[in-house]
């Protein structure tokens, strides 16, 4: 296949369509973000009803001033119109067989929201346009009672729909993985507190026995007409979408069928224009796609095993992702590739079965996520000498004790240990904290490991031919954090990339530099700790223009923090 840039320039019509789809996707996303911000503020305002109607009213004034201003009104209703129209358009274009449960739930909730929101808008905004008060003291009595059930359903549908969209968009980001658990708590608390505030405030007003503003006969019929026309518009939009879906099904069948051959899964026959990811889902073939098939991740990528010249060109969204992962010419995104002819592909990433032994907190790492972390390697010095001169039982006992003590030292300081060697291990720091905190934790863990070695020498000294010594290497930088292994036998968390290589080289260099631990300058800067420089010594690594400046760990006294201004450079 030719270079993507050249291909796209020679296929202007397709590239224009792909670019339009990419713009539509971004417009739908940011319109949804605007709506989610509005819903969040609205629910938080409801939650204040727990403290009384007066508190709700106080918060409502600045909120209404924001959203009922000219810019706020344009942003809100424009975002609603853009999001609904583009979402319906995307729904009309997609195939619905065997989609993931969260995507199916999001679609169902998204279809319910316009129906449920009609009464709410009519009972609040439309009535305010007719001159009726929009204060909580006037609105809550109108929607308390039978309409309250529909309001509750609206709150749940809108909030869950938005949370699913946010999760699908950002769940591959490092910051989202770090904050996922607190965000899940917030996602559960916000609607519960909003409903509690709504009930509490409504009962407070009910106890006050306030009289609601009666509707005039003319206004009643005006509102009734608004509801009828809104429901008719909603029904018309849904009918149009269903008609488009039916037309597309017929059109695909008339356009002909193609065969996609999957390595390890056999061949399937689908309509021309179906994406490879849709073909996988239609036929129940396991195919990962953590972004939901929106081109924001690369987990659905496939290797093309047939002629590349017959493929449609790469669009802007797909091109950006393929360039980011440095994909070879025969790799394409399954969610973006719509083959016009027969094709042979291989799904490159496995999908984990639901029953696989994978901790819930590690689920986000199963496809690999780039994070700034600190990697620590620790290894026993002169292990071959120990192995030759120790009895097998004594050696195994020492190794198990060593691994257990080192693992405890790492985990006690916030590290994650899943990678073991025969005479050492690798620990990852900063997965649940900031880069700076991870660097500090790794250094403190190294100091604890050196103390552990002193204790093991006192305990096993008489039984060992030589004193136990270790080498420790620590480096901070970007790494790919992923679950590696076989699901049936257990998955291990590990780090991949240049940061791991440098940390390993630092550990190996401790032999040559006659020291127990070497820390890179990157880790020393990030930690903010005053570590002594290893004067006159630098580590040269192939492929690096600049050598690695080395620091030592002072075992005698805890390292002191550097002045805070120097932290800004990290």
Annotate 237-291 with three-state secondary structure: HHHHHHHHHHHHHHHHHHHCEEEEEECCCEEEEEECCCCHHHHHHHCCCCCCCCC
Question: What would the two tokens of residue 85 be?
Answer: 């129209």
Question: What would you report as the CA-atom Rg of the chain, rounded to the nearest whole angstrom?
Answer: 30
Residue 3 forms part of a structural domain: no
pLDDT at 238 over 90: no
Shared-domain flag, residues 246 and 302: no
> Can you say whether the dihedral through the CA atoms of 32, 369, 287, 332 is positive or negative?
positive
Cβ atoms of 508 and 473 closer than 8 Å:
yes
For residues 244 and 111, membership in a common domain is answered with: yes
494: β partners: 482
The three-class DSSP label of residue 538 is: strand
Residues 52 and 65 in one domain: yes
Given a cut of 50, is residue 353 above it in pLDDT? no
CA atoms of 289 and 297, how far apart (whole Å) = 7
Residue 4 lies in a domain: no
**Which CATH number is 400's domain given?**
3.30.70.1230
Q: Which residues contact 42 (CB under 8 A, 6 or more apart)?
A: 63, 194
Q: Are residues 244 and 262 in the same domain?
A: no
The helix or strand, by DSSP H or E, that contains position 452, with its residue range, turns out to be: helix 435-460
Q: Are residues 52 and 111 in the same domain?
A: yes
Rounded to whole angstroms, the maximal C-alpha distance in the chain is 101
Structural domain ending residue among the three candidates 321, 347, 373: 347
Q: Which domain holds residue 336?
A: 257-347
Residue 143 near residue 46, CB atoms below 8 Å: no
**Quick one: pLDDT at residue 446?**
92
User: What is the per-residue pLDDT across 123-163, written as a single tens digit (0 to 9) for each?
Assistant: 777 777 777 777 777 777 777 766 667 778 888 888 999 89
Cα–Cα distance measured from residue 118 to residue 153, given in angstroms and rounded to the nearest whole number: 13
Mean pLDDT of 81-101: 74
Total Cβ atoms within 10 A of residue 122: 16
List, for residues 288-331, the tens digit of each pLDDT value. Answer: 887 777 777 788 889 898 888 888 888 877 888 888 777 888 88
In the predicted model, is pLDDT for residue 382 greater than 70? yes
Residue 346's pLDDT band, with cuts at 50, 70 and 90, is confident
Mean of the per-residue pLDDT values of the chain: 79
- Residue 355 domain-assigned (yes or no): no
- 414 lies in a domain? yes
CATH code (residue 319):
3.10.20.30
* Same-domain check for residues 285 and 162: no
Both 388 and 488 in a single domain?
yes
pLDDT band at 3 (very low <50, low <70, confident <90, very high): very low
**Residues 76, 38: Cα–Cα separation, whole Å:** 8
Per-residue pLDDT, 115:
86
Is the pLDDT score of 398 beyond 90? no
Q: Which of 568, 569, 438 is nearest to 503 (CA)?
A: 438
Same domain, 365 and 314: no
Which helix (H) or strand (E) segment is 58 a member of? helix 53-67
What total number of domains does the chain contain? 3
Q: 456-503 pLDDT, tens per residue?
A: 787 776 666 677 888 999 999 988 887 776 655 556 777 888 899 999
- Among the candidates 253, 270, 304, a domain finishes at 253
Q: Report yes or no on 5 lying in a domain.
A: no
pLDDT at site 356: 38
Domain boundary among 300, 321, 347: 347
Read off the pTM: 0.51
User: Looking at per-residue confidence, does 220 or 499 come out higher?
Assistant: 499
Q: What is the DSSP string of 92-156?
A: HHS--TT--HHHHHHHHHHHHHHHHHHHHHIIIIIHHHTT---SHHHHHHHHSSHHHHHHHHHHH
Whether residue 244 is found in the same domain as residue 270: no
Same domain flag for 262 and 370? no
Residue of 538, 2, 7 lying closest to 315 (CA atoms): 7
In a domain, 353, yes or no: no
CA distance 227 to 120: 10
The answer as to whether 489 is a domain residue is yes
337 and 386 inside one domain: no
Looking at the fold, whether 57 and 125 belong to one and the same domain comes out as yes
CA–CA distance, 238 with 257 (Å, rounded to integer)? 28
Q: Would residue 1 count as lying in a domain?
A: no
pLDDT for res 267:
84
Mean pLDDT (whole number) for 431-445: 88
> Are 551 and 534 within 8 A, CB to CB?
yes
């Amino acid at each position: 296949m030719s270079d993507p840039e050249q291909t796209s320039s020679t296929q202007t019509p397709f590239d224009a369509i792909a670019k339009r789809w990419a713009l539509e996707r971004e417009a739908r996303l940011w319109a949804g973000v605007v709506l989610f911000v509005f819903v969040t503020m609205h629910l938080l305002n409801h939650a204040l009803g727990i403290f009384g109607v007066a508190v709700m009213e106080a918060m409502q004034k600045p909120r209404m001033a924001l959203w009922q201003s000219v810019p706020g009104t344009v942003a809100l209703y424009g975002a609603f119109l853009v999001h609904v129209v583009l979402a319906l358009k995307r729904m009309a274009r997609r195939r619905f067989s065997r989609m993931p449960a969260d995507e199916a739930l999001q679609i169902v909730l998204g279809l319910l929201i316009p129906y449920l929101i009609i009464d709410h808008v009519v009972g609040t905004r439309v009535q305010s346009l007719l001159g009726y008060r929009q204060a909580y003291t006037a609105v809550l009595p109108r929607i308390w009672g039978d309409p309250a059930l529909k309001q509750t359903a609206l709150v749940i549908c809108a909030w869950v729909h938005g949370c699913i969209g946010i999760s699908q968009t950002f769940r591959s980001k490092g910051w989202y993985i770090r904050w996922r658990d607190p965000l899940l708590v917030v996602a559960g608390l916000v609607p519960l507190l909003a409903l509690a505030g709504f009930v509490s405030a409504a009962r407070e007003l009910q106890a006050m026995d306030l009289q609601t503003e009666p509707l005039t006969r003319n206004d009643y019929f005006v509102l009734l007409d608004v509801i009828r026309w809104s429901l008719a518009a909603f029904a018309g939009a849904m009918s149009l979408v269903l008609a488009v879906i039916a037309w597309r099904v017929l059109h695909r069948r008339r356009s002909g069928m193609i065969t996609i051959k999957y390595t390890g899964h056999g061949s399937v026959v689908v309509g021309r224009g179906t994406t490879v990811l849709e073909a996988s889902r239609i036929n129940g073939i396991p195919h990962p796609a953590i972004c939901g098939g929106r081109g924001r991740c690369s987990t659905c990528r496939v290797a093309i095993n047939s002629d590349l010249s017959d493929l449609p060109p790469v669009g802007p969204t797909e091109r950006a992702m393929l360039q980011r992962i440095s994909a070879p010419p025969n790799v394409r995104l399954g969610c973006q590739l719509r083959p016009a002819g027969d094709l042979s592909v291989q799904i490159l990433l496995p999908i984990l079965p639901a029953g696989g032994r994978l901790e819930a907190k590690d689920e986000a790492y199963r496809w690999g996520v780039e994070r700034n972390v600190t990697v620590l390697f620790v290894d026993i010095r002169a292990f071959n000498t120990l192995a030759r001169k120790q009895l097998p039982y004594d050696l195994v006992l020492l190794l198990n004790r060593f691994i257990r003590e080192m693992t405890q030292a790492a985990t006690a300081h916030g590290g994650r240990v899943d990678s073991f060697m025969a005479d050492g291990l690798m620990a990852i720091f900063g997965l649940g904290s900031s880069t700076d905190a991870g660097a500090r934790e790794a250094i403190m863990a190294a100091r604890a490991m050196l103390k552990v070695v002193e204790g093991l020498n006192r305990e096993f000294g008489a039984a060992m031919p030589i004193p136990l010594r270790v080498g420790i290497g620590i480096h901070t930088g970007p790494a790919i954090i992923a679950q590696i292994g076989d699901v049936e036998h257990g998955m291990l968390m590990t780090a991949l990339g240049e940061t791991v290589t440098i940390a390993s080289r630092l550990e190996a260099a401790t032999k040559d530099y006659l020291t127990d631990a070497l820390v890179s300058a990157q880790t020393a800067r990030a930690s903010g700790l005053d570590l002594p420089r290893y004067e006159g010594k630098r580590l040269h690594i192939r492929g690096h223009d600049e050598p690695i400046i080395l620091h030592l760990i002072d075992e005698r006294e805890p390292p002191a923090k550097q002045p805070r201004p120097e932290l800004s450079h990290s």
